[in-house]
Amino acid sequence: MDTNSFVLRGDICYSLSPTVFALYPHGLAVCIGGRSAGVYDANELPERYAAFPVVDYGCQLIVPGLNDIHVHAPQYGFRGMAMDLELLDWLNAYTFPEEKKYLDLSYADRGYTIFAEDLQHSFTTRAIIFATMHVPATELLMDKLEATGLKTYVGKVNMDRNSPDYLSETDAAASLSATREWLSDVKAKHYANTSPILTPRFTPTCSDELLQGLGEIKAQFNLPVQSHLSENPSEIDWVRDLCPWADCYGRTYEHFNLLGEQTIMAHCNYSTDEEIEILKKTGTYVAHCPQSNAFLASGIAPMRRYMQKGLNVGLGTDVAGGASINMFRAVSDAVACSKLRWRCVDQSLAPLTIQEAFYLATLGGGSFFGKVGSLAKGYEFDALVLDDSGIRSPRELTVAQRLERFCYLSNEGGKLTAKYVAGKKIQL
């Protein structure tokens, strides 16, 4: 029998839609060859699966894996610090000096070892990750992530203008050449779990020539793209000055063929009607980063509006703008920030429910990776087994209530018992 085929028993919960959970107390989740063959009620396992090994997790929760679609690996070393500035000043004062250190492979090895190990032991099963502009360090990060068994995209950052001399590529030609070198190296390594993603940092640090060249590379190799969009008012004003030909920030990416169903744009806190239509038309993903938006005082994305418009949306931790890679924290922060937006900014947009925020972390962001984010039949089998027995209460709780509580209290007695990615158990 395929060792990637088995049955998990436990209290199972996953999203059927943004507002509806599928609930299976004492349920059975079947994995065949790394994909879900369905979830069944207790004692109703089809005969064809009777010989499969059963891993019994008792009354522990079993949920889909969580997908972090925007996080910066080189910033992980100063997470939880340096939150006293807004975005652009924060980049210059803290982020760029830290990323400079990744030119030194010994430093990169220490920093990326910590990041990869912590991500492996976290609630995250898949992630979309920024590295730095340095090719050797980026490849080192990819090597380390490959070994974790998690599914990730990693990007060598491009930046050829408006950056410190110590963290700027000479010109567009040099940046594009380094990118092609990196892609060639990665192809030769035949990674099973780790893939490259083109990563222009954002329009202010990328010349038109560089963006055009990246658009050509994207088309040539059919590569995904990640960047930032409409995060901060000062950033938006800056883009308006740099690109007077564009009617909105999003146009600066669309013009160079960098948007589409394989593109993730982080933040989108201030997207205009024109920009929203561009995102919708191209199928571009919005990575909502609620904790980072709050800590850097950037704003609150109108996620209700984006969901109503049918945009592709998911959640990101955005470390170190965000302080934690805990995706359950991202889920709870998404709810909290949406309530503040509803109360303080726009009462026409109802706040998110916990079901909707959990959907963003699972099916929402998971769809970027393909058929990912659910335990329903046909999806890649990414699963978390959660022990919530340490979150004490005198009440008798339903499976849905226990998952809701775990989203808010994962660090208060919650434990990760087991983690599966595409049917393979991850070492914790």
One domain, residues 244 and 298: yes
Mean pLDDT of 240-260: 98
Each residue of 185-221: pLDDT tens digit? Answer: 999 999 999 999 999 999 999 999 999 999 999 999 9
Helix axes 208-221, 172-189, angle to 10 degrees: 20
One domain, residues 76 and 202: yes
pLDDT at 3 over 70: no
Give the pLDDT of residue 2.
54
CATH number at residue 104: 3.20.20.140
Give the pLDDT of residue 111.
98
User: Domain tally for the chain?
Assistant: 2
Average pLDDT, the chain: 97
In angstroms, rounded to a whole number, what is the distance separating the alpha carbons of residues 156 and 284? 20
One domain, residues 304 and 416: no
Q: b/e map of 127-159 (b: 16 or more CB within 10 Å)?
A: bbbbbbbbbebbbbbbebbbebbbbbbbbbbbb
Residue 121 lies in a domain: yes
One domain, residues 379 and 290: no
Decide: 125 and 386 in contact? Cβ < 8 Å: no
Each residue of 327-340: pLDDT tens digit? Answer: 999 999 999 999 99
One domain, residues 356 and 383: no
Per-residue pLDDT band at 8 (split at 50, 70, 90): very high
Each residue of 408-419: pLDDT tens digit? Answer: 999 999 999 999
Decide: 27 and 59 in contact? Cβ < 8 Å: no
Each residue of 279-336: pLDDT tens digit? Answer: 999 999 999 999 999 999 999 999 999 999 999 999 999 999 999 999 999 999 999 9
Give the pLDDT of residue 4.
82
One domain, residues 314 and 354: yes
Phi, psi for 121 (deg, rounded to 5): -95, 5
One domain, residues 72 and 60: no
CATH number at residue 386: 2.30.40.10
One domain, residues 210 and 96: yes
Residue 1 lies in a domain: no
Structural domain for 14, as ranges: 6-64+375-425
One domain, residues 241 and 193: yes
* pTM of this structure: 0.98
Decide: 406 and 128 in contact? Cβ < 8 Å: no
Give the pLDDT of residue 1.
41
One domain, residues 143 and 70: yes
Mean pLDDT of 129-136: 98
Residue 36 lies in a domain: yes
Last residue in a domain, options 369, 395, 410:
369
Each residue of 31-62: pLDDT tens digit? Answer: 999 999 999 999 899 999 999 999 999 999 99
Residue 104 lies in a domain: yes
Residue 350 lies in a domain: yes
175-248-199 Cα angle (round to 5): 25
Last residue in a domain, options 369, 396, 415:
369
Residue 301 lies in a domain: yes
